[in-house]
């Protein structure tokens, strides 16, 4: 049996348990909030990092859920302390929540460091909140458990299901093509988001929450439960209960996260047909955990991993269907020898033990390997003279005829240029052209927004074109689809070859060969590089200056250089003396 901590070994003991002037202040100020000493003395203090906000619809149930988490903590003999943190609301924050992922990671880490936390519950789910909270918790390395927001209910439109994002792009294209009316579009708007919870396609939120469960950082089955389901409330309470024991057991992220658990997470994401954003986030998370995950590892695992989740944007169904079909636990049973089920999780037992007894109830939603949606290549990593540091594409969500394609570039120098000209009748473009967007990367945009599903020009939409080759240094929403080459590294803003492209240059994509090249000679490229001038930085004050100075490129996860693992301050004993 694991040796349990003693109360005087708790980190919070330094705030509450000692007899000095400072601890007098901590105790008297806790009394001021109406707590009796018996409420907290000798108990683990559990920080609940809550990313609730009035402007985050994906977390609008967190006001209620946090009470349910607290209920579990009280029941298990802990002392819950809710700590609000910045809510990265994907639909509202400009230019992109990605600009602030590392800020939330820092906030999470510093909240845990500066307050008397013995362990934490991380409440997130909307896209960047998940990696951000977990990145911060990994760096602090206190016992931590993630409580996913859960997907919202299916959207509804004229008797059909609507999927977050995916159907927005679909019906927007139909509106621009003149195939639906403004009234139809209004109905889509009213019916696509019907409850609290994160996007219910296999977008970034569903992908990252599933990845956290596979990594062992959530309770078994937690990531698939729809947000409004009463079982989500129950899961919140159980999460609160479990973290208290994790503190006594001293079960930390560093005990759970290994190279094998990250391989498991990548494999599951690939088999789910998950978001390309997970590449950036999982690499950042792994590097925080001291695991050398890189783009080539994603590609190697993609070559052997079938896509088994029939979920939009790659497939047909939505997260609610996935839950009723058995959810992630059942899904993982299908992966068999592709996984290492011996990895430890936050339950104190293995991933394999967590999925024991799980069953698939609908094998069209969760496919067996004999009926895979796609045999392999849910994602592919490309390199070539256009992306020496790598780029990614999602072959499972593009038209197959574009897997090998050569066409002339139509170049937009930034987002505004694209918005101004993309629908112009004068634009020289055909279905074989390759649309290129520059200045959309971590520094150039800045923040590497989800602009990567570049719009198809209106005149081609009217001809019936629904997919064409598109390239950028941006990311793409996990709910998007199409032949979009993303995360081109190095980005154009720092002198990457993408920034040297000109209209008419021939670009070749070969997914099977994992190549993305421009047919421009080395001499010509050298000449263009000599003439190239770096655009002015996008920020001159505030957080943006810090961001631009320290942000790293997509292939290493876009973390700040000073947050790298070797810069970690030990959670216990390594904190600076601050009085
Ligand atoms: Fe929050 Fe999609 S908008 S998860």
Q: What is the pLDDT of residues 62-118, one digit of tens each?
A: 999 999 999 999 999 999 999 999 999 999 999 999 999 999 999 999 999 999 999
The whole-number pLDDT of residue 575 equals: 52
Q: What is the pTM of this model?
A: 0.95
Range with the lowest mean pLDDT among 14-18, 396-400, 500-504, 521-525?
A: 396-400
The whole-number pLDDT of residue 567 equals: 54
Highest mean pLDDT: which range of 174-188, 241-255, 532-546: 241-255
118 alpha carbon to ligand 1 midpoint, in Å?
30
Determine whether the shortest distance from the Cβ of 66 to ligand 1 is under 6 A.
no
Q: Which helix (H) or strand (E) holds 27?
A: helix 21-32
198 alpha carbon to ligand 1 midpoint, in Å?
5
At residue 15 the predicted structure's pLDDT band, cuts being 50, 70 and 90, is very high
Determine whether the shortest distance from the Cβ of 198 to ligand 1 is under 6 A.
yes
Determine whether the shortest distance from the Cβ of 517 to ligand 1 is under 6 A.
no
Share of the chain above pLDDT 90, in %: 92
Ligand 1 atom closest to residue 164's alpha carbon, by position in its atom list: 2
Ligand 1 atom closest to residue 58's alpha carbon, by position in its atom list: 1
Q: Are 350 and 341 in contact (CB under 8 A)?
A: yes
Is the pLDDT score of 298 beyond 80?
yes
Ligand 1 atom closest to residue 56's alpha carbon, by position in its atom list: 1
The whole-number pLDDT of residue 214 equals: 98
Nearest residue (CA) to ligand 1, atom 3:
90
Choosing from 88, 164, 207 the residue with most ligand 1 atoms within 8 A of its CB, the one to mutate for a pocket test is: 164
**Predicted confidence (pLDDT) per residue in 110-150, tens digit:** 999 999 999 999 999 999 999 999 999 999 999 999 999 99
At residue 437 the predicted structure's pLDDT band, cuts being 50, 70 and 90, is very high
Q: Are 572 and 112 in contact (CB under 8 A)?
A: no
**HSE toward the beta carbon, residue 158, CA cutoff 13 A:** 8
The CA–CA distances, whole Å, from 579 to 25, 48, 575 equal 12, 24, 12
Ligand 1 atom closest to residue 127's alpha carbon, by position in its atom list: 4
The whole-number pLDDT of residue 578 equals: 47
39 alpha carbon to ligand 1 midpoint, in Å?
37
**Beta-carbon count within 10 A of 46 CB:** 30
Determine whether the shortest distance from the Cβ of 205 to ligand 1 is under 6 A.
yes
2 alpha carbon to ligand 1 midpoint, in Å?
39
The whole-number pLDDT of residue 538 equals: 87
**Predicted confidence (pLDDT) per residue in 314-351, tens digit:** 899 999 999 999 999 999 999 999 999 999 999 999 99
Q: What's the average model confidence in pLDDT over 549-571? A: 83
578 alpha carbon to ligand 1 midpoint, in Å?
38
Q: Which helix (H) or strand (E) holds 151?
A: none
343 alpha carbon to ligand 1 midpoint, in Å?
29
Determine whether the shortest distance from the Cβ of 70 to ligand 1 is under 6 A.
no
At residue 576 the predicted structure's pLDDT band, cuts being 50, 70 and 90, is very low
Is the pLDDT score of 192 beyond 60?
yes
Nearest residue (CA) to ligand 1, atom 2:
199
450 alpha carbon to ligand 1 midpoint, in Å?
12
481 alpha carbon to ligand 1 midpoint, in Å?
16
Ligand 1 atom closest to residue 477's alpha carbon, by position in its atom list: 2
171 alpha carbon to ligand 1 midpoint, in Å?
18
106 alpha carbon to ligand 1 midpoint, in Å?
21
127 alpha carbon to ligand 1 midpoint, in Å?
6
Ligand 1 atom closest to residue 91's alpha carbon, by position in its atom list: 3
The CA–CA distances, whole Å, from 124 to 128, 255, 464 equal 9, 22, 40
Ligand 1 atom closest to residue 149's alpha carbon, by position in its atom list: 4
Determine whether the shortest distance from the Cβ of 90 to ligand 1 is under 6 A.
yes
At residue 568 the predicted structure's pLDDT band, cuts being 50, 70 and 90, is low
DSSP letters, 115-139, are TT-SEEEEEE-STTHHHHHHHHHHH
Determine whether the shortest distance from the Cβ of 91 to ligand 1 is under 6 A.
yes
At residue 566 the predicted structure's pLDDT band, cuts being 50, 70 and 90, is low
Point out which residues pair with 119 in neighbouring strands. Answer: 46
Query: Is residue 261 classed exposed, middle or buried when 0-12, 13-18 and 19+ CB atoms within 10 A define those classes?
Result: buried
* Nearest-angstrom CA–CA distance, 243 and 348: 11
Choosing from 97, 127, 449 the residue with most ligand 1 atoms within 8 A of its CB, the one to mutate for a pocket test is: 127
Point out which residues pair with 160 in neighbouring strands. Answer: 157
* Pairing mode, strands 484-489 and 506-510: unpaired
Q: Please, which residues have CB within 8 angstroms of residue 306's CB and are 6 or more apart in sequence?
A: 271, 369, 372, 373, 374, 375, 376
Determine whether the shortest distance from the Cβ of 127 to ligand 1 is under 6 A.
yes
Mean pLDDT of the chain: 95
58 alpha carbon to ligand 1 midpoint, in Å?
6
**Predicted confidence (pLDDT) per residue in 473-507, tens digit:** 999 987 778 999 999 999 999 999 999 999 999 99
Ligand 1 atom closest to residue 198's alpha carbon, by position in its atom list: 4
Q: Please, which residues have CB within 8 angstroms of residue 560's CB and are 6 or more apart in sequence?
A: 102, 106, 546, 547, 550, 551, 552
Nearest residue (CA) to ligand 1, atom 1:
126
Ligand 1 atom closest to residue 89's alpha carbon, by position in its atom list: 1
Ligand 1 atom closest to residue 204's alpha carbon, by position in its atom list: 4
Choosing from 51, 98, 124, 126 the residue with most ligand 1 atoms within 8 A of its CB, the one to mutate for a pocket test is: 126
* Nearest-angstrom CA–CA distance, 207 and 569: 30
Q: What's the average model confidence in pLDDT over 233-258? A: 98
421 alpha carbon to ligand 1 midpoint, in Å?
29
Determine whether the shortest distance from the Cβ of 199 to ligand 1 is under 6 A.
yes
Residue 431 CA from chain centroid, whole number: 32
- Greatest alpha-carbon span in the chain: 78
376 alpha carbon to ligand 1 midpoint, in Å?
27
Q: What's the average model confidence in pLDDT over 167-193? A: 93
168 alpha carbon to ligand 1 midpoint, in Å?
13
129 alpha carbon to ligand 1 midpoint, in Å?
10
408 alpha carbon to ligand 1 midpoint, in Å?
35
Determine whether the shortest distance from the Cβ of 126 to ligand 1 is under 6 A.
yes
């Amino acid at each position: 049996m694991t040796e349990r901590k003693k109360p005087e070994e708790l980190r919070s003991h330094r705030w509450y348990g000692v007899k000095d002037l400072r601890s007098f202040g901590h105790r008297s100020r806790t009394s001021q909030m109406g707590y009796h000493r018996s409420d907290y003395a000798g108990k683990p203090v559990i920080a609940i990092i809550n990313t609730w906000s009035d402007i985050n619809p994906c977390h609008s149930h967190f006001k209620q859920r946090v009470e349910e988490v607290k209920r579990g903590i009280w029941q298990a003999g802990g002392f819950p302390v809710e700590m609000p943190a910045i809510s990265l609301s994907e639909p509202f924050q400009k230019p992109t929540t990605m600009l602030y992922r590392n800020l939330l990671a820092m906030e999470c880490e510093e909240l845990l460091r500066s307050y008397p936390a013995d362990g934490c519950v991380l409440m997130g789910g909307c896209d960047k909140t998940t990696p951000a909270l977990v990145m911060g918790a990994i760096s602090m390395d206190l016992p931590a458990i993630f409580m996913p927001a859960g997907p919202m209910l299916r959207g509804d439109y004229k008797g059909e299901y609507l999927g977050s994002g995916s159907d927005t792009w679909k019906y927007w294209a139909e509106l621009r093509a003149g195939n639906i009316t403004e009234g139809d579009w209004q109905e889509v708007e009213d019916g696509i988001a019907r409850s609290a919870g994160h996007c219910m396609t296999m977008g970034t939120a569903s992908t990252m929450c599933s990845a956290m469960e596979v990594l062992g950082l959530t309770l078994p089955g937690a990531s698939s439960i729809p947000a409004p389901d009463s079982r989500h409330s129950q899961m919140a309470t159980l999460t609160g209960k479990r973290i208290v024991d994790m503190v006594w057991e001293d079960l930390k992220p560093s005990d759970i996260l290994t190279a094998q658990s990250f391989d498991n997470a990548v494999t599951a994401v690939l088999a789910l047909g998950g978001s390309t954003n997970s590449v950036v986030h999982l690499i950042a998370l792994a590097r925080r955990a001291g695991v050398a995950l890189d783009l080539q590892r994603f590609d190697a695992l993609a070559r052997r991993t079938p896509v088994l989740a029939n979920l939009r944007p790659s497939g047909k169904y939505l997260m609610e269907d996935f839950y009723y079909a058995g959810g992630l636990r059942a899904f993982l049973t299908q992966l068999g020898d592709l996984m290492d089920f011996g990895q430890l999780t936050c339950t104190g037992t293995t991933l394999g033990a967590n999925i024991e007894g799980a069953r698939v109830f609908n094998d069209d939603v969760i496919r067996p390997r004999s009926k895979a949606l796609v045999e392999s290549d849910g994602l592919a990593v490309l390199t070539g003279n256009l992306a020496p540091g790598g780029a990614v594409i999602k072959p499972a969500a593009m038209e197959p005829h574009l897997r090998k394609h050569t066409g002339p570039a139509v170049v937009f120098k930034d987002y505004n240029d694209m918005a101004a000209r993309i629908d112009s009748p004068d634009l020289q473009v055909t279905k074989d052209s390759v649309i290129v967007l520059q200045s959309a990367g971590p520094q150039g945009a800045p923040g590497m927004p989800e602009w990567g599903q570049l719009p198809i020009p209106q005149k081609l939409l009217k001809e019936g074109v629904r997919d064409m080759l598109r390239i950028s240094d941006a990311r793409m929403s996990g709910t998007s689809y199409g032949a979009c080459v993303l995360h081109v590294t190095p980005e154009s803003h720092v002198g990457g070859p993408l920034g040297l492209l000109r209209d008419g240059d021939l670009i070749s994509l070969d997914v099977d060969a994992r190549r993305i090249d421009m047919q421009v000679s080395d001499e010509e490229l050298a000449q263009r590089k000599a003439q190239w001038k770096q655009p002015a930085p996008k920020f001159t004050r505030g957080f943006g200056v810090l961001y631009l100075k320290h942000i790293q490129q997509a292939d290493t996860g876009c973390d700040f250089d000073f947050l790298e693992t070797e810069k970690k301050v030990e959670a216990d004993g390594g904190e600076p003396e601050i009085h």
